[in-house]
Structure formats: structure tokens, C-alpha cells
Amino acid sequence: MTKKRAHGDGGIDPRGPDTWRLRYRVNQQRFTKTFHGSLGEARKELRRLIRSGDTGEHVAPDKVTVAQWVDRWIALLKRQPNEEAGEGSKKRKRGLVNPRTLERYEELLRCHVKSTLGARPLQHLQASELDDLYVKLEKKLATRTVHHVHTVLGACLKAAARKGLMIASPTLRAEAPVPGESEAGTVLEEDQLRTLVEGYRGSVLFPIVAVAAFTGARRTEILGLWWTDLDAKNKTLRIERAVEQTKEYGLNLKEPKRARHKRTITIDDDLIALLLAEREKHLRIKAGVPDGAAVDLSLVKLPDDALMFPNPPAPGESFSFTGLRNPDNTTKEFVRKAAKLGFPGLRLHDLRGTHETLLLDRGVPVHVVAARCAHDPAVLLRIYAKRTRKADTSAAAVIGALSKGVLGS
């Protein structure tokens, strides 16, 4: 231990029971590191540190904690306000993730990681500690939520490794919980879908439910539709944006998460007629004329960013053509009404899965359905394409025709 070592070999000094100070050089710079373990393990670690300098993989000792790095990582991902947009503009510069996703990242790490492992030095974090964390979380959280914690923490620690703050992310060696297959919720039969949509007739939600049922668009995409997105002549509807709600910015319009989410879909005549009737209501509000009054509405112009489904005004408030409707409140209203119609537990998002499944049952190719609904075909088949009783009966009939005369006695 006291023997003088050759230049570049480094040194090991005892600092307590199974505690050692490792001294070494990399690129003519001195480094020291405290190591806990046996003398043999300390020698092995010293050799690794010296070798990492030769291979260019050396990570300098750092005292940054897990909590400090989490805060830095969240700050790196944050989207900043667009100063070039005019005052009051809701547009934002594109960050590495959108604000709603970032809020979820921050929430998972703050509630489940920083509260338990936040004080640990980042470079001392071990895979076994993550295993212990996951086991504790699974006692109080759903397995899928624990898996989300693992995924987000993995992205956070991999970023730390890329920045040279640690050798490798310990999440690569941790035993991640397996969430199992995701469920897409309830899928309605054709007659059930008609009954449901008809049940909303006369409600302010009727056109929203109709669009959800017969386009397969997402809730936030529907609430982000402008009247300029409708081309009644060519029977198409353009989907280019969605409503997003965050704590920092409130309700906001955002671009789709992926390029394929921007799409133009064909819609049927009945849906076009329903939307044109809704648009006429808005034109009458703009013109200040009551329903039924004879007036030439072709001279009335709505704002270019007038929403198809703006937020209904509160008592005493004026109508806003651009006021964003809260997606969560819309879903709550839908769920309450659906329960009264005999569909308890049905979500607004279930209409999307129903739309996709019924198209597949009718023989529409998978790639066509995927493009219409902005889905990856593999995900569409694995999660969202639910088998209906009617489709299963049709399949049995086909197989029966094939086996006729073969299986009989």
C-alpha cells in the first residue's frame, strides 16, 4: 500500500473499513474517487478507471445528485415561448417534447424517483436500487405506471451518460416491470354505435360525437378543427392540429406529434350536412340574426381560425369563435350522457377504436385504416383492432363454407 507506484499506475489509500481513495491520472489531469468495497474490488475499479482514460471512455467524478440531474434534464427538454409571435399568441417553439408530455415526465420523476433516490450521487446509482424502487412502487401503483416510471427514468439517465456524467445508465441492467398488453377499451357493434350517436341528438355534444364516431379522429384533434379545414365540395376534412392542456400554458393549439398525424380524410354526405348546419349556426351568430330568419349568409365571413367546436360561453359572456373547449370536461360530459343512454363506462376515445374496428370488419385494408386514423399499422392491429361478435360470426361462416363436405361423416 505504501509502495511507490510507477507513473500512470495510480494509487489506493485506505479511508476506513472497506473504504478506499483511488488516485489516478487521465490526460495529465489528476482525479480521486472514493470507493466502497474490498481491496480486490478497489484494485479492479482502479484498473478500469485507468483503462477508461486510454479508451476515451473516462467519466470524471462528479457530485451531482439524481435530483439535480433530473431538474437539469427537464430544463433541457422544456419548450420556450416563441418571442417572434405577436403578443398574446399561443404558438410555442418546438421543444424536444411537448409541454403536456414534459409535465408528465416531471410528475413521474418528482413523485416516484426524486422523493426516494433524489439525494443519491448520480454516479453511485446502482441497478439494484432501481429494482428495489420498482418493487416498492408496484405495491401501490399499477404495473403500467411503474413501467412508465422506468421508461422516463431510463431516458433521463441515458441522457446523463451521453453528457459524460456517468458511464452507463443503470436502467439498462434493472429489472423493468412488464405492463402486459394495452387495452383499447370498449368497441361497439354497428347498431350500438347508431343508438349512441342518435342519443346525443339535440345535445351540444351531438356534432362532436358524430365526428368522433365517423372519422376516428382523436378527441383533441376534433376540438382543434377549424372551419377552414372542411372542404364540403370535395367531401374532405383536414386534420392538422390538436388541443393541448398544460399547467403552465393552459389550453393551447399544438402541431401533431408526428408528421403522419397531419392528414386529409374523406367524410360522408350525412356528416358533411351535419357540419354545414353547425357552420350555419355560427354564421348566424356572427351576423347577429336569429335562427329561421331569411338572410343571405354568403356575405358573412368567419375568422380564419374559427373553431368548429368552440367553448360554449358562460351565462353573460359573448360567444367566442376561437375559445378552446376543455378536452377533459368534454369527456366528462360525454361519459355522463353515455351512462344515461345505457353505455356505462364508455369513453369518448372508445369511438376511435370502434371506428377502426368496424372499418377492418368491413374489409377496408389495414394500411388505409391506419392512414385515415394516423396509426402505425402494427399498433392498430395489436391494440385498437378489437374483434366484434359480428366479425367473429362472419369468420366462422367463411370457415364453415371451406370445411363443408370435408369434416362431415
Residue 23 bridge partners (DSSP): 11, 32
Are 73 and 215 part of one and the same domain? no
pLDDT tens-digit readout, 93-118: 445 678 888 999 999 999 999 999 99
The pLDDT score that the predictor gives to residue 88 is: 37
Are 202 and 336 part of one and the same domain? yes
The pLDDT score that the predictor gives to residue 2 is: 44
Last residue of a domain, one of 297, 316, 346: 346
Q: What is the CB-side half-sphere exposure of residue 359 using CA atoms within 13 A?
A: 24
Are 81 and 16 part of one and the same domain? no
The pLDDT score that the predictor gives to residue 94 is: 46
The pLDDT score that the predictor gives to residue 56 is: 65
Overall number of domains in the chain: 3
Are 332 and 250 part of one and the same domain? yes
The pLDDT score that the predictor gives to residue 119 is: 93
Supply the range of the domain harboring residue 290: 190-346
Are 51 and 87 part of one and the same domain? no
Alpha helices in 7-138 (DSSP H): 39-55, 66-77, 99-109, 115-117, 127-138
Are 245 and 278 part of one and the same domain? yes
Task: Establish if 211 belongs to a structural domain.
Answer: yes
The CATH number covering residue 106 comes to 1.10.150.130
Exposed, middle or buried: residue 301 (CB in 10 Å: 0-12, 13-18, 19+)?
exposed
Task: Establish if 352 belongs to a structural domain.
Answer: no
Are 197 and 334 part of one and the same domain? yes
Are 157 and 90 part of one and the same domain? yes
Are 49 and 90 part of one and the same domain? no
SS3 state of residue 107: helix
Q: How far apart are CA 248 and CA 246, in angstroms?
A: 5
**Per-residue confidence at 362, pLDDT binned at 50, 70, 90?**
confident
Say whether pLDDT at 8 is over 60. no
pLDDT tens-digit readout, 166-203: 878 999 999 988 876 666 678 899 999 999 999 999 99
**Span 314-329, average pLDDT:** 91
Are 167 and 229 part of one and the same domain? no
Are 197 and 143 part of one and the same domain? no
Task: Establish if 70 belongs to a structural domain.
Answer: yes
pTM, rounded to two decimals: 0.72
